[in-house]
Chains A and B, each alone.
Chain A
């Protein structure tokens, strides 16, 4: 495998990318001043992958939570708990499942090659049996219980359930209780065979590493296998609510927790570049209108309506896209009215150039800090590579965003009439 230099522009550390003979994509970010190395191995298998078109017109239907269940089970390797093997090699390992991907993260301060080999090996094995599946189901059911006791999780999931009627993003990434209870080893193995084929995998390595050596190791550790056509996600397209909708749960809580969602009607349009531009424009817009240096935040923090729990972000992945506001307040309905009113004013007045420039300058500084060390750099590069964009493209898109782009996002996306409100409020 030959790696070529990418991301030459800007202040970022250089990076190298290539594809192994087995089809595995590799990105290496050499950070020679650090002691640790971080390896992130990802597949584009997330919680939204429930209905897939395979080669030969066959279809694969999966219960909710399959990607997350598999993530748990892969830790039960052929030789016992994989975490123990990493520990013995002076490494640590963790994993995360999102709507559109599963990532395994290994970090170590030595024995880099052995840690990398173990990571590349265990993720491609599916050594679990039926007993392991039953045992792990109990653990995941505990995890779901924990989430259901967390008002922030409940409101975010309720808001997504209001925005989406059929799209799998409406279900918790960990799945529903019924699906977790009934998931079986055969289904999980089938999903593993499809999504953990080397051509589905992306490895990002950051740390005091030699890119050429990493390329050699990947070739040695990941043998060629028969080519495999990529599965096609089959996802419903939704327009979201036609009018404001809401769901309120009453619980014994000291104050309300809320989530206010807005659905992106055409996620994925324009490919990776289109998504990147929407993410950046929406992110900048939210910062200008509702960030810590906004008039909105200052006014409502001072009035006591909001506090540091308040936040908002835009997500576009797995055929879904949404902005979600979240926070806690003694007066949740006033928060909702204030956000809606601010959006209406933004639509009428437009974005001021000085606000955009200040926010852009800060965003650039924060992006630099997202490369603070091997873990941060690997996570940032991995998230972007999974979306099919590079860091240079990200910086260029940030630098080229205009007030017109931001104003367009207010008009087309943050439409108060199509909002979904969810809250957990005191009884």
Chain B
């Protein structure tokens, strides 16, 4: 049993991180295939879903899903997300520990099934399965066109799209409707070959297996051969515009949604990175945060206000939902509080609460295998350590004056509003 991930290189550009533990009644397998955010982002997002539709041995989706049910409800899903300038295709298995259920060990079969999904997909001739591709393109179109149904998520995405327009990070991880026309069975087959043969792989295994046993299992089930290059750290630092941009959209409804995007120019390896993590917590890391206290508890202006720190490119995005008539006031208050934090720094109480909250969150990571894997993956891309202990030491070394200096680096770059009304 180990307390940190052990890194095992399986081939050039292919790394397996193994956490050997019997803490959980299930095993988790994560395979991340990393590629640039580029014109093929949309196709890659569709590819991830097409691979879940069937394999050569189980060409019907129903067969694949029933195989998973027979593995005591093993969960297999795929997702795409952004990491700096990269798009990650993530495949995740969660396998109940069969021994807890009085049966056999299900992990080898589940990983073997994942190997089938990734490397031996259902095909029409040399192309990926024509029906699966056509259907997934249709589903993807609907997914992209329906984003607005979840207003909060939509505003978060639109803010980054506008803020980072022209940069790789400005692309939506799921891509764009206008690119779907080029997603054909043959184009996806080519992309599949390139991704499986060339995309750097960061895989994670949390189970009872030792690093050696885990590596053997992966080698048997997943033919992950050497890549030309391993994963490179990927950040996308940009500076704020001279004058902040303002984008406004309208959609019938009752509530206004605000997004304020800030550039800090502080990357993940910069000395100011952990002060910025603290600053984000002080600003709106939870119910103790300055904005929650001022805007919700004191004034009842919002139900929710929160801030996201995009670690790899130094962007902080603040989001709030409020009555349309209060939108100017809320936006003004956010800016005013930031000016105050840059001038005077956080209060003692704010600082202590933010420190305590980050500490408890880090302590909680020990019990959360997926979060531990995410931290390790981000650290790999940032080119710095990512163990819980190391992060805790960096945070403990931050002083309030450092956070104040981080606040001074906040430059509002874009204000986005989704207001009630006809488009």
Whether both chains belong to one complex is answered with yes
Q: What is the 8 Å Cβ interface bit string for chain B, positions 24-54, against chain A (1 contact, 0 not)?
A: 1110000000000000000000000000000
Determine if A254 and B353 form an interchain contact, defined as CB atoms under 8 angstroms apart.
no
Q: Within 8 Å CB of A142, what residues of B?
A: 255, 300-303, 321-323
Q: Within 8 Å CB of A364, what residues of B?
A: 72-73, 101
Q: Report if B352 contacts A (CB, 8 A).
A: yes
Q: Within 8 Å CB of B184, what residues of A?
A: none
Determine if A366 and B73 form an interchain contact, defined as CB atoms under 8 angstroms apart.
yes
Determine if A36 and B253 form an interchain contact, defined as CB atoms under 8 angstroms apart.
no
Q: What is the 8 Å Cβ interface bit string for chain B, positions 334-360, against chain A (1 contact, 0 not)?
A: 000000000000000100110011011
- Could you say which of B24, B73, B302, B304 contacts A363, with CB atoms under 8 Å apart? B73
Determine if A293 and B62 form an interchain contact, defined as CB atoms under 8 angstroms apart.
yes
- Asked if A136 meets B300 with Cβ closer than 8 Å, knowing A11-B100, A91-B360, the reply is yes
Distance in angstroms between the alpha carbons of A381 and B401 in the assembled complex: 45
Q: Within 8 Å CB of B245, what residues of A?
A: none
Residue among B66, B74, B148, B368 with the most chain A CB within 10 A?
Answer: B66
- Could you say which of A109, A110, A255, A292 contacts B146, with CB atoms under 8 Å apart? A255
Determine if B254 and A145 form an interchain contact, defined as CB atoms under 8 angstroms apart.
yes
Q: Report if B7 contacts A (CB, 8 A).
A: no
Q: What's the tally of chain B residues with a CB closer than 8 Å to chain A?
A: 69
Query: How far in angstroms is the closest Cβ of chain B from A295?
Result: 7
Q: Report if B58 contacts A (CB, 8 A).
A: no
Stretch at the interface among A17-25, A147-155, A195-203, A217-225: A147-155
Stretch at the interface among B135-143, B197-205, B259-267: B135-143
Determine if B300 and A135 form an interchain contact, defined as CB atoms under 8 angstroms apart.
yes
- Asked if A88 meets B353 with Cβ closer than 8 Å, knowing A36-B367, A142-B255, the reply is yes
Residue among B251, B255, B353 with the most chain A CB within 10 A?
Answer: B255
Determine if A362 and B72 form an interchain contact, defined as CB atoms under 8 angstroms apart.
yes
- Asked if A90 meets B66 with Cβ closer than 8 Å, knowing A34-B23, A34-B367, A145-B323, the reply is no
- Could you say which of B65, B70, B96, B287 contacts A369, with CB atoms under 8 Å apart? B96
Distance in angstroms between the alpha carbons of A142 and B152 in the assembled complex: 14
Q: Which of A292-334 contact B (CB under 8 A)?
A: 292-293, 295, 298, 301-302, 304, 307-308, 328, 330
Q: Report if A273 contacts B (CB, 8 A).
A: no
Q: Report if A143 contacts B (CB, 8 A).
A: yes
Determine if B364 and A36 form an interchain contact, defined as CB atoms under 8 angstroms apart.
yes
Q: What is the 8 Å Cβ interface bit string for chain A, positions 356-376, against chain B (1 contact, 0 not)?
A: 001101111110110111100
Q: Report if B366 contacts A (CB, 8 A).
A: yes
Determine if A251 and B252 form an interchain contact, defined as CB atoms under 8 angstroms apart.
yes
Stretch at the interface among A79-87, A230-238, A239-247: A79-87
Q: Within 8 Å CB of B149, what residues of A?
A: 150-152, 253-254, 257, 328
Q: Report if B94 contacts A (CB, 8 A).
A: yes
**Majority SS at the chain B contact face:** mixed
Of all chain B residues, the one with the shortest Cβ separation from A149 is B253
- Chain B residues proximal to chain A, CB less than 8 Å: 22-26, 60-62, 65-66, 68-74, 94, 96-97, 100-102, 131, 135, 138-139, 142-143, 145-146, 148-151, 251-255, 286-288, 293, 296-297, 299-304, 321-323, 349, 352-353, 356-357, 359-360, 363-364, 366-368, 422-423
Distance in angstroms between the alpha carbons of A373 and B370 in the assembled complex: 13
Determine if B255 and A368 form an interchain contact, defined as CB atoms under 8 angstroms apart.
no
- Asked if A143 meets B303 with Cβ closer than 8 Å, knowing A92-B286, A361-B69, the reply is yes
- Asked if A359 meets B69 with Cβ closer than 8 Å, knowing A33-B23, A302-B131, the reply is yes
Q: What's the tally of chain A residues with a CB closer than 8 Å to chain B?
A: 64
Determine if A298 and B25 form an interchain contact, defined as CB atoms under 8 angstroms apart.
no
Query: How far in angstroms is the closest Cβ of chain B from A275?
Result: 23
9 residue pairs from A and B, CB less than 8 Å apart: A33-B23, A34-B366, A87-B357, A92-B357, A136-B300, A142-B302, A146-B304, A359-B69, A365-B101
Determine if B101 and A254 form an interchain contact, defined as CB atoms under 8 angstroms apart.
no
Of all chain A residues, the one with the shortest Cβ separation from B152 is A146
Residue among A81, A138, A140 with the most chain B CB within 10 A?
Answer: A138
Q: Report if A252 contacts B (CB, 8 A).
A: yes
Q: Which of A248-305 contact B (CB under 8 A)?
A: 251-255, 257, 292-293, 295, 298, 301-302, 304
Of all chain B residues, the one with the shortest Cβ separation from A75 is B287
- Could you say which of B66, B101, B359 contacts A11, with CB atoms under 8 Å apart? B101
- Asked if A302 meets B135 with Cβ closer than 8 Å, knowing A146-B303, A149-B253, A362-B73, the reply is yes
- Could you say which of A81, A91, A108, A373 contacts B297, with CB atoms under 8 Å apart? A81
Q: Within 8 Å CB of A89, what residues of B?
A: 356
Q: Within 8 Å CB of B22, what residues of A?
A: 33
Determine if B286 and A83 form an interchain contact, defined as CB atoms under 8 angstroms apart.
yes
Of all chain A residues, the one with the shortest Cβ separation from B106 is A365
Distance in angstroms between the alpha carbons of A52 and B337 in the assembled complex: 46
Distance in angstroms between the alpha carbons of A145 and B256 in the assembled complex: 10
Q: Within 8 Å CB of A83, what residues of B?
A: 286-288
Distance in angstroms between the alpha carbons of A27 and B300 in the assembled complex: 37
Distance in angstroms between the alpha carbons of A87 and B43 in the assembled complex: 44
- Asked if A139 meets B296 with Cβ closer than 8 Å, knowing A34-B367, A108-B360, A358-B70, the reply is yes
Of all chain B residues, the one with the shortest Cβ separation from A372 is B24
- Asked if A87 meets B69 with Cβ closer than 8 Å, knowing A254-B148, A307-B143, the reply is no
Query: How far in angstroms is the closest Cβ of chain A from B139?
Result: 5
Query: How far in angstroms is the closest Cβ of chain A from B204?
Result: 16
Q: Within 8 Å CB of B322, what residues of A?
A: 142
Q: Report if A107 contacts B (CB, 8 A).
A: yes
Q: Within 8 Å CB of A109, what residues of B?
A: 360, 363-364, 366
Q: Give 6 A-B pairs besides A251-B252, A293-B62, A328-B146 with Cβ atoms closer than 8 angstroms.
A: A140-B303, A142-B255, A295-B62, A301-B135, A363-B73, A364-B101
Determine if A148 and B303 form an interchain contact, defined as CB atoms under 8 angstroms apart.
no
Distance in angstroms between the alpha carbons of A11 and B68 in the assembled complex: 21
Of all chain A residues, the one with the shortest Cβ separation from B131 is A302
Q: Report if A78 contacts B (CB, 8 A).
A: no
Q: Within 8 Å CB of B251, what residues of A?
A: 252
Q: Report if A35 contacts B (CB, 8 A).
A: yes
Determine if B135 and A304 form an interchain contact, defined as CB atoms under 8 angstroms apart.
yes
Distance in angstroms between the alpha carbons of A207 and B50 in the assembled complex: 40
Q: Within 8 Å CB of A251, what residues of B?
A: 252
Of all chain B residues, the one with the shortest Cβ separation from A255 is B146
- Could you say which of B62, B97, B364, B423 contacts A368, with CB atoms under 8 Å apart? B97
Of all chain A residues, the one with the shortest Cβ separation from B49 is A308
- Could you say which of A33, A84, A146, A363 contacts B353, with CB atoms under 8 Å apart? A84
